[in-house]
Amino acid sequence: MQTRLPDSLLATLEGATADAVLRKCVHCGFCLATCPTYQILGDELDSPRGRIYLIKNALESGAASATTLQHLDRCLGCRSCETTCPSGVSYHRLLDIGRRAVQARVARPWRVRLMRTLLRRGLLSPLFGPLLRLGRLLRPLLPAGLRDKVPGGPETVACSPSSQAGPRPVAPLTSPAQAAAPASGHTVILPRGCVQPHLRPAIDMATEAVLAALGDRVLRPAAGACCGAIPAHLDDAQAARALARANIDAWWPLLESGAARAIISNASGCGLTLQDYPDWFADDPVYAPRARRVAEAAMDIGQWLAQRREAWPARWTAAPRRRVAWHPPCTLQHGLAAAPAIEATLRELGFDLQRPADAHLCCGSAGAWSVLNPGLADELRGRKLGHLDALPGDVIVTANIGCQQHLAARSSRPVLHWVECLAGR
Ligand code: SF4
Ligand code: SF4
């Protein structure tokens, strides 16, 4: 694609990045076939190619309209188009730059602005836990999009019928000194997380139990909560970078000193955000190398299990095969490109994974997107559950809290993180 971005913009890192991405697109349109919003709305401006044109025009002309922002805001950021694109267009980087440029010129309607501010502040507030408990009490009165995000009560579903108690809690470590000498295995950092520990504490408990079964020790530094995904999804790059910087300050010294070997993520959305850190700090000479070190050390719990195969306890593979319906999150398959390897590991661990026909498509969660676009989110979830419901298995398993909560709100079967099933063995 030919571009004519102004020289003043090309002189910036963002401008040069956008130009490079735009020039890779050859207008072929292959990406339209796998774009969820294009499938539903049928409007080219709600497709990857259409959005690329909108961003190109906005960057070249310096002008943008409310309609342009609406089409960009409807994008899930699922990156399905990137998996499909034969030219290697890094669409998500262009979307970030384009949306920032457009929203600097066009104001969203006040209701949308209010909702985005409430989400940004509320999800990261220390009051999130108490607010969630209050939300459970007031659940019937909440708007539909928000109600779906508030689970009805503390989940008690144990994955394995043979393990009604679920994973046993394991006391986490909070300082490097405690982690200095693991009896066997490695010391790893498990980020504290922001909303997941409140929405589904069983995932962290299960992860700690699985790591303990490997002989690994878990370090949970007091700093390092939100990875930055929430403000990043809500276009607050400054707040996202501030959170990322705090995480790097907490984790990088542990990695550099050898006190920790890896950063383990049990939410693929957060894991993908950690891989974005080098881009976020590309123009920062101090934090760029640290961000790269953090991204290199970060991996999904499924990727870590594949590396630690020799430490698997015999009971994991001796258990009867378990048939489960499998929902691979977009962040795992399109963002991290880790789904095939993790699926192979899960099969080795005795999961008989049943993939839906539309496994490559988003379930409609996409973090805060589903709250801001409840109609589209509902439509995508209905389609996804239609395909998942056609599969055998008494539970649906996934690898990201956002998908888990979104699907569970309408699913007739429990929706769990697969690590909860493994920990129950
Ligand atoms: S990120 Fe997803 S929703 Fe957005 S353009 Fe690409 S495929 Fe479509
Ligand atoms: S598939 Fe890739 S090259 Fe083709 S139109 Fe989509 S983004 Fe452009």
Q: Candidates 3, 24, 26: which one to mutate for ligand 2, based on the most atoms within 8 Å of Cβ? A: 26
Ligand 2 atom 1, closest CA: 85
Report pLDDT for 159: 65
Identify which ligand lies nearest to the alpha carbon of 34: 1
**What is the C-alpha separation between 14 and 8, in angstroms, rounded?**
11
Whether the predicted pLDDT of 47 surpasses 50: yes
- pLDDT tens-place string over residues 287-336: 999 999 999 999 999 999 999 999 999 999 998 999 999 999 999 999 99
Model confidence at 165, pLDDT cuts 50, 70, 90, reads very low
Q: Candidates 1, 21, 27: which one to mutate for ligand 2, based on the most atoms within 8 Å of Cβ? A: 27
Whether the predicted pLDDT of 174 surpasses 90: no
Given the CA of residue 24, which atom of ligand 2 is nearest to it? 3
DSSP string, 173-228: B-STTTTS--SSS-EEE----SSHHHH-HHHHHHHHHHHHHTT-EEE--SS----S
Report how far ligand 2's centroid is from the alpha carbon of 41 (Å). Answer: 19
**What is the C-alpha separation between 135 and 416, in angstroms, rounded?**
22
pTM: 0.90
**What is the C-alpha separation between 15 and 101, in angstroms, rounded?**
10
What percentage of the chain has pLDDT greater than the value 70? 92
| Buried-exposed string 167-199: b where 16+ CB fall within 10 A, e elsewhere | beebebbeebeebeeeeebbbbbbbbbbbbbbb
Report pLDDT for 222: 80
Average pLDDT over residues 49-64: 96
Report pLDDT for 235: 81
Whether the predicted pLDDT of 175 surpasses 50: no
Given the CA of residue 34, which atom of ligand 1 is nearest to it? 7
**What is the C-alpha separation between 9 and 1, in angstroms, rounded?**
18
Q: How far is CA 24 from CA 4, 18, 94, 174, 175, in A?
A: 14, 10, 11, 46, 46
**Candidates 3.40.50.1970, 3.40.50.720, 3.40.50.1860, 3.30.390.30; CATH matching 315-423:** 3.40.50.1860
**What is the C-alpha separation between 82 and 76, in angstroms, rounded?**
13
Report how far ligand 2's centroid is from the alpha carbon of 29 (Å). Answer: 5
Domain boundaries, the chain: 7-103, 187-307, 315-423
Q: Candidates 3, 22, 23, 25: which one to mutate for ligand 2, based on the most atoms within 8 Å of Cβ? A: 25
Ligand 2 atom 8, closest CA: 25
Helix axes 268-280, 287-297, angle to 10 degrees: 150
Average pLDDT over residues 400-418: 95
| Tokens representing residue 391 in the block | 């599969």
- pLDDT tens-place string over residues 70-86: 999 999 999 999 999 99
Whether the predicted pLDDT of 180 surpasses 50: no
Domain 7-103 coded CATH 1.10.1060: yes
Report pLDDT for 153: 57
- pLDDT tens-place string over residues 192-237: 988 999 999 999 999 999 999 999 999 998 876 799 999 999 988 9
Report pLDDT for 163: 42
